[in-house]
Amino acid sequence: MPEGDRIAPSLFALVDAALARLAQASPLEWDDGIALEHRIAHARRHPDTASAPWCALAQRLDLTHLETLAGALALRVESDARIADLVRQLQAPGLTRPTLGLIAHCWAALEPNARGAQARLLALCCAGRAVASGCFVLGTGDAPLVHRTLTLHPALVAPLVDPVFGASERARFGELEASVIVAPSWHWPKSWADGFATHAQALLAPTSQKNLVIRCHDVAEARACAAAIIERAGHVAVELPIDDAVKFTAWPPGLEPWLLARNAWAVACVNAAPGERIVLERFTHVPTIVAATLDGDIGTRDGPCHEWRLGIPNANERVAMLGEAFALNDEAHARERDALARGWRAGVAALHATVDFARAHAQARDDATPRLHDLREALHAQALRAGAQLGTLAQAIHARADDLTLVVPPEVQDELDLLRARCAHREHVVASLGAVVRARARLGLAALFVGASGTGKTLAAQWLAAVLGKPLLRVDAASVTSKYIGETEKNLAALLARAEHLDSVLLFDEADALFGSRTDVKQANDRYANAQTNYLLTRIESFDGIAVLTSNSKARFDDAFMRRLDAVVEFPIPSAQERAALWRAHLGDAMTFDDAQLNLVAAEADLAGGHIRNAVIGAAARAAARDGIDAPIEFDDVLAAVTDEYRKLGRGAPDGLRRHV
């Protein structure tokens, strides 16, 4: 007779036979001299359908035969009411889970000549793999060892009883909630897709490190990449969010057995601050992929992890991705779409989010076929999403300036046009230059707009974002800076990384509040302030996006910062001719007086554009108060509003205007 036929009882059949003998319900049906450990080993290698999930988990955790039998008994109690009632009857009143003493009796019942079962229980309790991993939960209290209960971790019961039914999307382990994630159906850059396959094979190799850190500008994009790698490896991706509530001392008990039972790999999402070191515990049997941003030092107790740093896809990859994700039948529109992709340095997640928005925009007008203008509308709407994603750190500016609204001297306009060209071609401008330039080239641009209040610095930033077709985000210095050490750097790192990922233009109004000159260290606060400035100077130099800083004076910045700027544009007080153009642009068709009177105001009132705007609004309010809404603006309204504006500035109106008041 083949050996397999002689020792055929499954693991659960062994448990049932042991309980039946203890209850004196029936004798053993076999007495062939085969050792119990041999019988359990065979049952693990050749399980039946019911015990297969537990046998597979025991095999992967490398549990002892005693632990394997104990887990089978604990699982039978949780899943079979008949077995649960029998176990309750065999123990002291009030004990509903099997005790270590009962497990020892079951072992002895199956192998009467066995010795040392009680001693092995002590090892199981103190140093067994099942208890150490959290697979088993031992009862607490001052009861003797043999009276302590043994229970399977609650999260393990469902996947071990029925793997299909137990494939739940979430499981809680203390303060950490593990959740199953699925890789999005994105069109990935080819180099990324090739990398997914390579890293999946590397993590499957028996001698691999089993840890990988994926760094992206956006942690959600890194998370999606991790899920794609795990799916290519044939496993389930489970997210383990790491935040302030979860410390980095050790993973909670039961988590690794649950991952093994779910055939899952871990994705630890980490949002580390600059200079922060995070040490994650390695799982023994489960690979871990860390989805992280570009900052922070991430490693394990065994040393650093292998890192894969993913930036923004290059122009050719963006063209291919957008062509696959947003197909257009019209050849001319397809060429314009490709040109749009070349100038739009957004991350993969931002690109697909914009495409989804464009499709929704088309569906809103009952059009099943998205058009190119839907994609343009989606790009403009990205400012709304960008501002919402950054919370209080930055706000989206929705007003868009064009060539008619921006009135500046010709030399300033020439500098702005050159800056626009550099921004539009920043990915390609250094490709044909020498090796030294290419080696040190960076794709980011930082420009400083300097001038008195109201000279058009913010309006010029709006114009630049509009002509480039990019969202404009105004940075709130008060929200970015923090009194707590390290928080300012963390906020700025998140802000800059998000702006790079969304290809937004960042506007730092009154930038000297953040980028001001470093001071001599006279007290502790000076040291931390200088450290923040040093970080900003370094980070702005590595920034791959477009940043516009405004200030009233260049003298407030030190030389090291000025060297890092790509352009400095000075906005002078407008001349009389430019002021006349500003008055006409602001008044439009609302004025009733002639050009001679307007030129008089422009020549006499040396106001900048911002003050002219205030004066026009004040004049319109006076006209409305006198003659109602949409009343035309008269010359006297303008004179009175100009006088009010000078009073706000602490100055008297020019003599040339006073005699007309």
Higher pLDDT, 247 or 656: 656
Average pLDDT over residues 352-372: 80
Between the alpha carbon of residue 19 and those of residues 74, 93, 144, 442, the distances in Å are 12, 17, 22, 72
Residue 205 gets which letter from DSSP?
S
Separation between Cα atoms, residue 287 and residue 237, nearest integer Å? 11
CA distances from 543 to 12, 419, 442, 534 (A): 61, 17, 8, 14
Which pLDDT tens digit goes with each residue over 382-440?
Answer: 656 665 666 677 777 777 777 777 888 889 999 999 999 888 887 776 666 666 656 55
Has residue 60 got a pLDDT over 80? yes
pLDDT at 520: 45
Give the pLDDT confidence of 520-554 residue by residue, as tens digits.
444 444 445 566 667 777 777 778 888 898 888 88
Query: CA-CA distance, 266 to 238, in Å (whole number)?
Result: 5
Cα–Cα–Cα angle for 550, 551, 556, rounded to 5 degrees = 135
The torsion defined by the Cα of 275, 281, 282 and 288, in degrees rounded to 10, comes to: -60
Distance from C-alpha of 29 to C-alpha of 42, rounded to nearest angstrom: 17
Residue with tokens 């041999």: 38
- Give the pLDDT of residue 267: 94
3-state secondary structure of 331: helix
Helix pair 315-325, 348-364: axis angle to 10 deg: 30
Q: What is the pLDDT of residues 39-49, one digit of tens each?
A: 889 889 989 99
pLDDT value at position 151?
92
* Most confident stretch, 363-377, 383-397, 608-622: 608-622
Most confident residue range from 230-239, 305-314, 372-381, 604-613: 230-239
Could you list the beta-strand ranges (E) of 153-302: 170-173, 176-181, 211-215, 236-241, 264-270, 277-280, 288-292, 297-300
Q: Do residues 224 and 183 touch, judged by C-beta distance below 8 A?
A: yes
Q: What tens digit of pLDDT does each residue of 454-490 get?
A: 888 888 998 998 888 888 888 877 777 777 667 777 7
Averaged pLDDT score across all residues of the chain = 82
Span 108-115, average pLDDT: 74
The residue assigned the tokens 């999260």 is: 155
- The per-residue pLDDT for 229 is 96
CA distances 640 to 615, 625, 648, Å, are 9, 13, 13
**Beta carbons within 8 Å of 269's beta carbon, 6+ residues apart:** 219, 222, 223, 239, 240, 241, 242, 290, 291, 292
- Confidence class of residue 581 from pLDDT cuts 50, 70 and 90? confident
Three-state DSSP at 35 gives coil
At 303, is the secondary structure helix, strand, or coil?
strand
5 pLDDT exceeds 50?
no
Q: How far apart are CA 498 and CA 514, in angstroms?
A: 18
Each residue's pLDDT tens digit, 263-298: 999 999 888 777 778 888 888 889 999 998 888 888
Mean pLDDT is highest, among 29-38, 142-151, 185-194, 433-442, for 185-194
The predicted model gives 142-156 an average pLDDT of 86
Helix (H, G, I), strand (E, B) or coil at 266: strand
Task: Please check the confidence at residue 302 and state whether its pLDDT lies above 50.
Answer: yes
What are the DSSP calls for 494-544, one per residue? Answer: HHHHHHHHHTPEEEETTTHHHHPPP----SHHHHHHHHHHHHHHHHHHH--
* pLDDT (0 to 100) of residue 527: 47
b/e string for 488-518 if b means 16 or more Cβ within 10 A?
bbbbbbbbbbbbbbbbbbbbbbebbebbbeb
Q: What confidence tens digit (pLDDT) does each residue in 24-41 have? A: 866 666 555 678 888 889
